[in-house]
Amino acid sequence: MKKLLIVLLLLGCSSREDQCGTITNLGSDSDFSYWIFIDGTKHDVDLETFNQAYIGKYICLQYD
């Protein structure tokens, strides 16, 4: 039971860490949604972040 509790706590705590890596792709759609892929993982971003992004750029996204 202790192991299950520890695993659940770790999963809950690590879900909103800062994400750093290289931009591997980016895109937008007609609904004004913007996203970038950091090392192959998709992240939704705002317009300002999207406008500064380019493939190959190293970036860190900070989650509050």
Measured at the alpha carbon of residue 55, what is the angle toward residues 53 and 56, in degrees to the nearest 5? 110
Q: Are 43 and 35 in contact (CB under 8 A)?
A: yes
Could you report the per-residue pLDDT of 13-60, keeping only the tens digit for each? Answer: 444 678 999 999 999 999 999 999 999 999 999 999 999 999 999 999
Residue range(s) defining the domain that contains residue 52:
16-61
pTM over 0.85: no
Question: Taking the CB of residue 26, how many other CB atoms lie within 10 A of it?
Answer: 19
What is the predicted pLDDT for the residue at 6?
40
40 domain residue, yes or no: yes
Query: Based on the structure, what is the number of domains in the chain?
Result: 1
57 domain residue, yes or no: yes
6 domain residue, yes or no: no
SS3 letters across 6-44: HHHHHHHHCCCCCEEEEEEEEEECCCCCEEEEECCEEEE
47 domain residue, yes or no: yes
51 domain residue, yes or no: yes
